[in-house]
Amino acid sequence: MTDSTPSPNLYASGPLDRSDNLRADAAWLKRAVDDSATRLVPVWRNRNLVLGEPAQPEPAFLPGDHPARDLARTEIFLGLRQGVPIFALDLEPTEDPPLGAYGAFQDLRSFGPLLDRDTAAILATARGLAHWNDRNRFCANCGSPTISSHGGWRRDCSNSECKAQHFPRIDPAV
């Protein structure tokens, strides 16, 4: 007899405390992202940075003081994992990020099933929020540019007459 209990979506579960209370604290976010203990998840063209062999991928979690931060359009606070801040780095505007010494950018769908659930969920969240931030750079109400806020989980219209706030959909997969 087989177990008919459905397993959770590989990318939907996750180990992160999303720490909504910290997202609005700009000073805390600045200190956290500058800390070498912080971990950064680079995302470029909807791909994650991966080290190692294709059969044994090891996603890159760079230290907070890594120079790749200078290339990021947006730093997105994903949450805390065992007290350690995790940020996604949206490297989209960079033509060819100079991170080749660290590995290669790969589509999560090609190596995600080889990862443990927690790591796969973190990478999916990073990819999803980077994608959402990239696709919502303009206000849906008035067309003005939006500004990333709340640790990358909200975009605010820059038009003082509109002031619309935009939030990502939280889907189990992107």
120-161 pLDDT per residue, tens: 999 999 999 999 999 999 999 999 999 999 999 999 999 999
Pair 125, 14: CB distance under 8 Å: yes
Choice between 103 and 78, residue whose per-residue pLDDT is larger: 78
How do residues 11-65 score in pLDDT, each as one tens digit? Answer: 767 889 999 999 999 999 999 999 999 999 999 999 999 987 777 889 999 999 9
Q: What angle do CA 4, 173, 110 make, to 5 degrees?
A: 90
C-alpha 170: how far from chain center: 13
What's the CA gap between 75 and 41, in Å, rounded?
A: 10
Rounded to two decimals, the pTM is: 0.88
Q: What is the pLDDT of residue 161?
A: 98
Q: What is the pLDDT of residue 101?
A: 75
What's the CA gap between 168 and 100, in Å, rounded?
A: 31
Q: What is the pLDDT of residue 56?
A: 86
Task: Read off the DSSP letter of residue 97.
Answer: -
Q: What is the pLDDT of residue 42?
A: 95
